[in-house]
Homo-oligomer: A and B are copies of this chain.
Amino acid sequence: MHRELLLLGLLRNEDMHGYRLAEFIAHDMAFCTDLKKPTAYHLLQKMAADGLIDESAEQEGNRPARTVYRITAAGEARFQTLLRENLRHYQSIHFAGDIGLAFIDALPQDEAHDLLRQRHAAITAEIEHLSSVAGQTHTDGGLALVFDHYLYHLRSESAWLAAVLNGEPRTSPPG
């Protein structure tokens, strides 16, 4: 459902064709969604069938024709509903990396420790990378908030993993 919200939200800002939508999402929102190009096309077609968006053909020079999508009044109403639902609720997350943790006792302690150190290094690297990209794009309005959230989350993950690696007692709160 949040994928529809994403597409409607972007179309609300500006009419776009599928390729551009997918590209924007992949380049500028990679840190908060993993919506792929074919999925975007699929959802766009479905939403068009539902009357939430309008399709129109557009030709530029003699490049291949593009299908441009524009949000309708029904789509705007949907957006409003979905947005409120999204903000109101907390949607719990599952960490793929936790499955490994659940079976960590299957490995010798030394090796497990070493692997987790590599994981910690990967988190640190992502924090560095994100921090360095910080001021470049998506520094506007809502996306800035999301960016901050992601960075905060990464720091929290890093801190938790560091505590585990130091053998600190469990279930300690952050901050």
Contacts and interface: CB of A to CB of B under 8 A. Distances in A.
Looking at chain A's contact residues, the main secondary structure is: helix
A94 B6 CA distance: 13
Interface in A106-135: 106-107, 111-112, 115-116, 118-119, 122-123, 126, 134
A120 to B, nearest CB: 8
B119 A2 contact: no
A34 interface: yes
A159 to B, nearest CB: 5
B153 A170 contact: no
Interface in A76-108: 79-80, 83-84, 86-107
Name the interface size band of chain A: 35 or more
Interface stretch (A14-22, A41-49, A138-146): A138-146
Given A9-B102, A106-B83, A144 B170 contact: yes
A130 to B, nearest CB: 10
A115 B98 contact: no
29 contacts: A2-B97, A2-B99, A6-B99, A6-B102, A9-B99, A33-B94, A79-B106, A83-B107, A86-B100, A87-B107, A87-B115, A87-B118, A88-B115, A89-B118, A90-B97, A90-B122, A91-B96, A91-B97, A93-B96, A95-B150, A98-B146, A101-B146, A102-B142, A105-B142, A145-B170, A148-B170, A153-B156, A156-B156, A174-B174
